[in-house]
Structure 1
Amino acid sequence: MSQDLKTRVLEDVKTAMRAQEKLRLSVLRMLTAEMKQREVVDSVELTDAVVSAAIEKMIKQRRDSEKQYTDGGRPELAAKEAEEIKILMVYLPEQLTADELVALVKQAVAETGAVEGKDMGKVMAWIKPKAQGRTDMGKVSGLIKAQLAG
């Protein structure tokens, strides 16, 4: 039986501590704090889906920071954010390739009968359970808009 995501993260914190991997330990501690926040403050049971959502949130924050640092001429800080993203990505399911994502969007548009921009919500609702945690949902949104416009 495979262990749940929460247990895996907590075990990896111990491993990183023993190995004195400072950056990895720091990122995993931030993740455990986010998990505790959701568990205690939001009164949510920590299922794999909840932990995955926390990881996705943290990755999105780091991507935003990485872009700001790059735009601001701070490549060393952008590189640190990129490293943190790599550490967090390990805990998400295998990511969809660009081709798989395009195929999924085309299938969603066809199956929902979407033809214009106002149908975007239907398409997103169809795709979300299949793609959540496996891709950046912002990319999905852009692809849907392009598909419905063209």
Structure 2
Amino acid sequence: MSARTKARKRAIDVLFAADVRDEPAAELLAQEAERARTQPERETSWRYAREIVLGVLEHQDEIDELLTSYARGWTLERMPALDRAILRMAVWEIRWNDEVPTAVAITEAVEAAKQYSTDDSGRFVHGLLGRIAESVPPVVES
């Protein structure tokens, strides 16, 4: 498993836990930062996981608006919490991380959904991210 894939998993874990526990993601991020300091083997993947979580937090309103707008017949509340975490991460990568090709962001999200969520999640995540990627251009921040 690549360092970026591990980082995505860590980011999904933080976003999911914050959502399910109704706790601030920033607090969970601080706990993960402390764990990463005591486990040097986690450092490489931790840096990118942190970047993802902070990016999702910074753009969460816009991300959630996109998910709501492009999820045909689904509200955010109706989506499984794990799917929400995966989708938020992937939308951030697609829109705000120009280092990750859109196809890679979608593929990684679909694989995470297949591995960690429901039987239907892979197709759902793929379809929703595909619609967003086709319709909404990436943001180039300077």
TM-score between both structures, scaled by the size of structure 2: 0.30
Structure whose CA Rg is larger:
1
Q: Which protein, 1 or 2, shows the higher relative CO under an 8 Å CA cutoff with sep ≥ 6?
A: 2
